[in-house]
Every structure is written in structure tokens, then in C-alpha cells.
Amino acid sequence: MSAFDITGIRQDFPILGRSVRGRPLTYLDNAATSQKPSVVIKALERYYSEQNANVHRGVHLLSEEATTAYEAARASVAKFLGLKEARGCIFVRGATEGINLVAECWGRANLKAGDEILLTQLEHHANIVPWQVIAERTGAKVIVTPVTPRGEVDLVAFKGLLSARTKLVAFAHVSNALGTVNPAAEMTRLAQAAGALVLIDGCQSAAHFKVDVPALGCDFYAFSGHKTFGPTGIGVLWGRPELLDAMPPYQFGGDMIRKVDFAGTTFREAPERFEAGTPDISGAIALGVALEYVMPIQTAAHAHEQRLLAAATERLKAIKGLTIVGEATEKVAVISFNIVGGHPHDIGTLLDADGIAIRTGHHCCMPLMKHYGLSGTARASFAFYNTLEEVDRLADSLEKARKMMA
Ligand code: PLP
């Protein structure tokens, strides 16, 4: 077996064996959501057929088993993020909920008129709108760091925009629309030196390379399970425990309370503080299984994806009239592009006829598209289970599409 056994890995993902429109499925929409290995699918089934019980509540065996598995999943998350302690890892629905939680709980309690929240031009709407809304409510202001024509954060501008007014800096570790890997540790260091807290949207990084939260040094890190080979409906917000414990909770109910009395109620510390009610138990357990699946292959998977990126970039660049949008020095295997004379949706539809799934449109990054003067792009996003043969299929199909659209 080679260091990275792509044949074996593909067999772990049952959906990759299906055909689409009479062709083998070529799934290149991984930035939207990733596929799930059998171990994850089986973990969901196993939970409901063998373990189903509520967590943290029962004295009976099933509840104990479910609680142990749920908390073991939290420990897997901590390991995945390079953390020694799992307490700061909160199970949420996904990155969107994680970012909203910080905006609502930290923002509402700490922002005031005159404060600034610094974002970047390449953020996903999930890392723009919650800040806009909390800014409107508190009188704070959202400031935007521009990106360079290559699709990299303009670090000189970033430094210039940081000031004593900056209370929070929020940015994507990796751009979903362009694949740019931001210098997250450096941006964090600069922001914290200016006195700001840092939230990193790790939605697109967690699936592509090892994330080391302590090395990044950030204050909050959010990612979605479904983009990281786990189920939909589950994700993680990590926060520094001391920050989380000082934040007022925003959902109230079972499990998050210390003591309830009509005279007044007290709340628990993180993580329970932010996990009111029955959580997505099966989702959390299956996410833990997904992360345990990924961790041993992360380094080899990243190298494989970089080979796919290099091959795909070379083949796509050779297509007449095709322009790649975003050519950062450091990228994950995501390629955004346009073809002269063809709308991105037409490209997507023509590729679909060949069994190739890509994403088209603004990728929830309208401000970034506006910056480039585009209504959208076509985007091929790879995962470690994709192959060089699929890169060829993509390029051949695009060449065919180009001729049809010309
Ligand atoms: N942030 C980034 C960079 C994303 O790519 C996405 C999803 O595409 C999100 C946030 C939101 O993730 P979710 O919809 O899983 O909450």
C-alpha cells in the first residue's frame, strides 16, 4: 500500500461509487459540503440502533454510554484542533451558528459606539452579516480589509486599519470562493497586539490541513462538521474558556443551568453554558468519528490535494478564454474561474451533464464578487478522495463546454 492509498480511500466513501447522468460521479463541490466515509454513516446508524439515549441526564446504562460517546467526540474535536483541553469546544450547528454565537454573546456584552470590528473583503456572508447586525445594535462599526488582485488579504492595509478602536477581528482561515490561505497566525498576532480579540472562520481550512489553534493563537475558531467529512447539523465553536465563561449565554434551558429558582437562575461554565437543550448527539458522535478518520491521513491528504491543485491549475489555464479568479501564493485545492462568453451557471449545467458536480454563483461572497466586478464564478473544489483522472475529466468537459458556448 502506498503512503496515500487513494483507491482504498475512495472505497471508504460509498457515494463515490455512484453514477450521475450515466457517467461516474466526479464530485468537485467539496467546499459546499464534503462526502462522508462509511465509518461516519455507520456511527450514525450504530448510535440509533445501539446507544440512543439522552446525554448528561440519565443514571441508566444507555444514557451513560451516550454521554461517554458524546464527550469522547468533544475530546476528538480538541485533539483535531491541537488543544490540550476540550472545555472550550462547544457543539453548535455549524460555523454560521458559531459565529452568530460570538457576535450575539460576546458582541452584545462588549461592543459599544465607536468600537470597530475588522473583517476582510473575502469573507463568507456568515462572517459578515452577524457582525453587521451586532454593529447596528451596539453602535459599533464594521471595517473591511481589502484584498489584492491575486485574492490575498492586503496585509499593509490590514495593519493600517488596526487601532485602539478595533475590538474584534474576524477572518476566514481559507477563502471558500478563491481557496486563498490567509496568514492567520500573523494576522492574529497583529490584531492582538492592537488589543483586539480574533475569531477565525475555519470552515474551509479544517478539511484541508492540520489546524493548530494554540499555534494560531486566536480567541475563537469555528468550523462546520459537514465540510469536514462529518454530518450536517453539527459544528464546533472553540473559544478561550475564560472568555466563554465571561460571556452571557444566549439560549436558555436544560443542561446549561447550575441552579434554577423563581428567585433567579445561575448558569454553568463552558461548554454546557452554550449547549442549552438536547444537543445533536448522533451528529457530534459521528463528527468525532470523522475527525478520527481524517487525523492520521491529514499530511498525506494535503500533499495529494496540492498535486491535484497544481495539475488542475495547469490544465485549466490551457483552456482558451478561461480565467482563474484568485491566484494566491498559498491556496487549498479550490479553483474559481470564468470562461469568456459563458455564464457560470451554463458551465455548471454543461459539466453536470458529464457527471461533474461544481458550484456556480457568488459562493455567499457577494462583496468579494463585487470587488472583482463579477456576478459569480464557477468553482471546482477538491477533497483528498479526488483523483488526477478527475482533474482530466474536469478539463476535458470544460474544453467541450467552451466550444459549445463559443
Ligand atoms: N464560512 C465559510 C468560509 C464557508 O465556506 C461557509 C460555508 O460555505 C460558512 C462559513 C458557513 O458554513 P455553514 O453553512 O456550514 O454554517
> Rounded to an integer, what distance in angstroms lies between the CA atom of residue 367 and that of residue 37?
34
What is the C-alpha separation between 200 and 216, in angstroms, rounded? 9
369 in contact with ligand 1, CB cutoff 6 A: no
The single residue of 89, 203, 218, 364 carrying the catalytic annotation is 364
- pLDDT above 90 covers what percent of the chain? 98
pLDDT of residue 406: 87
The ligand 1 atom nearest the CA atom of 126: 10
CA distances from 328 to 177, 182, 183, 254 (A): 12, 9, 11, 46
Which domains are delineated in the chain? Answer: 6-36+297-405 (3.90.1150.10), 42-295 (3.40.640.10)
- 396: left (phi > 0), else alpha (psi -120 to 50), else beta? alpha
Rounded to the nearest 5 percent, the helix, strand and coil shares of the chain are 45, 20, 40
Per the CB < 8 A criterion, the answer to whether 375 and 391 are in contact is no
Atom of ligand 1 nearest to the CA of 201: 1
**Ligand 1 center to 3 CA (angstroms):** 31
pLDDT higher than 90, residue 58: no
Give residue 225 CA to ligand 1 midpoint distance, Å.
10
Question: Is residue 204 very low, low, confident or very high in pLDDT (cuts 50, 70, 90)?
Answer: very high
Could you tell me what percent of the chain has a pLDDT over 70? 99
1: pLDDT confidence band, cut at 50, 70 and 90? Answer: very low
DSSP state of 102: I
| Stretch 368-374: mean pLDDT | 96
Computed over every residue of the chain, the mean pLDDT equals 97
Cell 474536469 -> residue = 394
pLDDT value, residue 3: 66
* Residue 208, burial from CB neighbour count under 10 angstroms (0-12, 13-18, 19+): buried
Lookup result for grid cell 458524546: 70
Supply 247's cell numbers: 460571556
What is the DSSP secondary structure assignment for residue 106, as one 8-state letter? I
Q: Catalytic residue at 364? A: yes
What band does 129 get if pLDDT is binned at 50, 70 and 90? Answer: very high
Write out pLDDT tens, residues 15-48: 999 999 999 999 999 999 999 999 999 999 999 9
Whose grid coordinates read 497566525? 185
In this structure, the residue with its CA closest to atom 6 of ligand 1 is 203
Name which residue sits closest to atom 4 of ligand 1, judged by CA: 203
Give me the phi and psi of 262, to 5 degrees please.
Answer: -60, -15
Q: Is the CB of 94 under 6 A from ligand 1?
A: yes
What is the atom index within ligand 1 of the atom nearest the CA of 32? 8
Predicted confidence (pLDDT) at residue 2 exceeds the cutoff of 80: no
Cβ-contact 207, 228 below 8 angstroms = yes
Ligand 1 centroid to Cα of residue 96, in Å, is 6
Contact 219, 196 (CB under 8 A): no
* pLDDT reported for residue 159: 98
- Given a cut of 90, is residue 4 above it in pLDDT? no
How many angstroms separate the CA atoms of 201 and 229, rounded? 17
**Cβ atoms of 144 and 119 closer than 8 Å:** yes
The answer to whether the beta carbons of residues 267 and 249 sit under 8 Å apart is yes
Is ligand 1 within 6 A of the CB of residue 204? yes
In angstroms and rounded to an integer, the radius of gyration of the C-alpha atoms of the chain is: 22
Peptide bond just before 367 cis, omega within 30 deg: no
Of ligand 1's listed atoms, the one at least distance from the Cα of 224 is 15
Ligand 1 atom with the smallest distance to the CA of 123 is 3
Ligand 1 within 6 A of 236 CB? no
Using CA atoms, how far apart are residues 235 and 280, in angstroms rounded to an integer?
10
Per-residue pLDDT tens for 303-346? 999 999 999 999 999 999 999 999 999 999 999 999 999 999 99
DSSP letters spanning 276-320? -SS--HHHHHHHHHHHHHHGGGHHHHHHHHHHHHHHHHHHHHTST
Question: What pLDDT does 173 receive?
Answer: 98
Beta strands in 137-275 (DSSP E): 141-145, 166-172, 197-201, 220-224, 235-239, 257-259, 266-267
- pTM given for the model: 0.97
Give me ligand 1 centre to Cα 124, in Å.
7
Ligand 1 pocket member 172 (CB < 6 A) = yes
Element counts in the chain: helices (H) and strands (E)? 15, 17
User: Is 95's C-beta closer than 6 angstroms to any atom of ligand 1?
Assistant: yes
| Rounded (5°) CA angle 318-24-382 | 50
Using alpha carbons, select from 252, 253, 247 the residue that is nearest to residue 270: 247
